[in-house]
Each structure stands twice: as structure tokens, then as C-alpha cells.
Amino acid sequence: MGPTNSTDSTFSRRGFMKGALIGSVGALTADPSSIAYAMLAGTTPADIQGIGIRKGLVNLSSNENPLGPSAKAVEAVAQNMFHVNRYGWSMTPVPEDLLRNAIEKHHNLPETTVTMENWQEAWKERRVMISAGSGPILEFAAITAIKDGAELVQARPAYSDIAEVWMKFKRRQNANVKLHLVPLDDAYLHDLNAMYKRINQNTTMVVITNPNNPSGTLLGHDELADFVQSVPKHVTVFIDEAYIHFVREPGYRDAVHLATEHDNVIVARTFSKIHGLAGMRVGYSVAHPDTHRRMDLYPVPEPSVLGCFAAAAALEDHDHIARCRQVAKAGKDYLGKSFDRLGIEYVPSDGSFMLFNMKREVATTFAALAEKNVEIADANWWGVKEHLRVTVGTPAENEAFIGALEQVLQESRPVAQ
């Protein structure tokens, strides 16, 4: 007979978990001698089994977590998967409330309680809004800032979901809106002075991605806080912290406190990166309750029941977070040294990826790498020419990428006559 209640079922949950975990942990704990052996043997894409992708593919294009999901999240999914015949609101506790409360606790925010009696009013208190990935938070925040004559200030290159919503409105609705895309400075940092100068009485939103994607650069906390302080209160400052866990500086202070101290600040977070739950689609924002109420006028998609359970478990899986951070840091060190050896300029990164400068058109390199089963990102997508962006993978994936890049460089060298 099949299990009816997963929580105390003896269905070989333990066996299932064991299988699931061996897969990911096996990849995590590759001991130094096997890594050294793989290096000596010359790792090729065909040797690599990335988690969740077909054997042989080295997919370093989308900043996914190469180590897989938090094991605690996998366990939470396994425990709850037999309950998915129910809507979230039929469950006790309601998974959305469970996750929202977990996030509130995580950030030391007042916990909100939603009951049958107060659910219409509960919005008045709520500083946390959850959604199906942070993408919808970006998009719906963008929509609330668009009105006739409105202006947006954002860096370029930067993650462009918000700017794309504005551009879509401009094109399709013939909307009278203006976008100021301010170039990063020479160190690939947000040029906050130049951005500040573009703010006027029509500006409704300023976007800061910190660390920035695709450059991986990080603003100093105090510099960002001073900027927020100086921005007029009629402007919403949207701070996207998708990669905040990968910051190298120990003790770096994130921006969540700015969202509680300033009514015009929204901070967005995702479970897709450090927590390894991109396919689960879970993200959230911290902002003033009125901001969330405005966003909630639109149908912001909520995460699924399993997404809520997985994210709530992943949030406090500090071992997994530390391991992912460590692997990303070691990977960035390795990639940096390899770029130095190959004479390629790169941007030191506080994200889970690295931007590097080929100083020539990159379409050929991009295609030649793809032919060798190594997929990375062409930074032209964010409007920066002659650059490529690579996600930091497992040691084996990083080595395969560097090996393939080296080959591509050799193959493209003019043959001496």
C-alpha cells in the first residue's frame, strides 16, 4: 500500500534521502587527491556530471548553484510531497505563512500572524512579500513605478529585468517614460554620483544591483547607505541582493536594514543562488507594507507549497550556505589565477560568477566553447561588448571551462608562416 501520510511513513524515505544526498554530497566532498588526479588527467567536459544536467555538459551560463540544493530543502520536499493534493490555504500551517514568518525571523522583523479574521488587514503590518522567484518582485515593483512621464535610473551593464519592463511599456503602450542607463565606472562599479545627477522630480525608481550582475562588483555599505539617505523620498530605491551571500568581505552589512529604516527602499532576495533552489521559484522582498500593498494590486505569483517548505528549510541551513560560499570563493581564486596565466583581464567578483574581457568580439569564442560543451554567457546580453561571464562551478567544471578556453585560444591563434 502506498503511504498516506508522509511525515511518519516508513516508505523508504530514508533510502530516498540517502540516494539523493549521496549524489550531491559525493560531488561536494571530492577529496584533494581526486581533484589533483582529475587535473593531471586533464578533465574534459565529457568526464563531468553536473548536478541536474546531462552528463558532459558544463553549464556555467545561468549562475545556478553547482552544488545542488540544500539537503534540508530536499528533505522538506520529501516530507511534504504527498500533501500536494491540497491548496496551501487548506494546510496547517499555511506554507506561505510558514515561509514568510521564517524570513521575518531571519531578518529580526516583527512576525505577522494571519488568521481567518485578520487576513484582509494583515497587509498593513507586513514587511515581507514572497513570490515565485525574485523575478516577479522585480517586475511588479517596476510596474508600480511606471506612470505617465516617469523616469527610471539604473546602471549599465546590470541585471535588466526592471528596465525591460519599462522598455516594454514604452514600446508597446507608447508610454511616455524615460530610462537613464548610467555606465558603470572604470572599476565596473555603480557610478552613484552620476546616477544621483540623473534623478529629478519625475524619477520614480532607482535600481541598484549589489553585488552587480554581470560585473560582480560590490558597493561599500556606507556608500550605499549615504546614497539611499540622499535620494528624495518620492523615488523608490530598489536594491537587488540576489548574490549577497557570495560577498568576500567577512561581516559586510547587507541592505535589509535600509528597507526598514526608509519607507522608499525595497530589498529583493532570491532562493535561486546560494540556496540552490532556482527550479523551485522562490524569492522575496523586504519593504514598507504600503509598498507591498501597491505591488499586491497585481497578481504577483506565489511560490508553490513545496517551494515554501524547501525555502523555509534552506534559509537556516548554515552548513550548506557556508559550503557554497567556500566553493564559490575557491572557484573565483582558481579562475582568477587561470585568467592571469592566460593574460585575460577579469573583474574581481563578489558574486557567484566572473566577468572577463576578451578585448575582441566574443561571438566566435562563445560558439567555440559551446561546441566543446561548455556554456557560459555573452555579456552583450547586458550591453557590454567584448566580455564574457562565467558562473563559478565545481572544481571539475571550472577546470573543464579553463581547459576548453585555453584550447579555443590556441585554435584561434594565427598560424605562423
Ligand X SMILES: Cc1ncc(COP(=O)(O)O)c(C=O)c1O
Footprint on this chain of ligand X (rule: CB under 6 A) = 63, 133-135, 159, 209, 213, 240, 242, 270, 272, 278, 283
In this complex, which beta carbon is closest to ligand X, that of residue 44 or of residue 209?
209
Minimum CB–partner distance for residue 279 and ligand X (Å): 9
Q: Positive or negative, the Cα torsion across 224, 225, 229, 232?
A: positive
Minimum CB–partner distance for residue 170 and ligand X (Å): 21
Alpha-helical segments (H) within 207-270: 221-230, 256-261
In this complex, which beta carbon is closest to ligand X, that of residue 44 or of residue 159?
159
Q: 98 CB contacts (<8 Å, ≥6 apart)?
A: 308, 309, 312
Q: Are 402 and 393 in contact (CB under 8 A)?
A: no
Minimum CB–partner distance for residue 250 and ligand X (Å): 22
Q: Are 379 and 387 in contact (CB under 8 A)?
A: yes
In this complex, which beta carbon is closest to ligand X, that of residue 130 or of residue 313?
130
Which H or E element spans position 113? Answer: none
In this complex, which beta carbon is closest to ligand X, that of residue 303 or of residue 395?
303
In this complex, which beta carbon is closest to ligand X, that of residue 144 or of residue 209?
209
Query: Could you tell me which residues are beta bridge partners of residue 378?
Result: 388
Q: Positive or negative, the Cα torsion across 340, 346, 350, 354?
A: negative
222, exposed or middle or buried, with CB in 10 Å at 0-12, 13-18, 19+?
Answer: exposed
Q: 416 CB contacts (<8 Å, ≥6 apart)?
A: none
Minimum CB–partner distance for residue 82 and ligand X (Å): 27
Cell digits of residue 274: 546560494
The b-or-e profile of 131-161 (16+ CB within 10 A means b, else e) is bbbbbbbbbbbbbbbbeeebbbbbbebbbbb
In this complex, which beta carbon is closest to ligand X, that of residue 24 or of residue 134?
134
Q: 66 CB contacts (<8 Å, ≥6 apart)?
A: 50, 51, 327, 391, 392, 393, 394, 397
In this complex, which beta carbon is closest to ligand X, that of residue 56 or of residue 348?
348
In this complex, which beta carbon is closest to ligand X, that of residue 155 or of residue 404?
155
Cell digits of residue 163: 528596465
Which H or E element spans position 177? Answer: none
Task: Please provide residue 207's backbone torsions phi and psi, each rounded to the nearest 5 degrees.
Answer: -115, 130
Minimum CB–partner distance for residue 379 and ligand X (Å): 13
236-240 and 203-209 beta bridge pairing = parallel
In this complex, which beta carbon is closest to ligand X, that of residue 309 or of residue 382?
382
Minimum CB–partner distance for residue 277 and ligand X (Å): 9
Minimum CB–partner distance for residue 282 and ligand X (Å): 7
Minimum CB–partner distance for residue 383 and ligand X (Å): 15
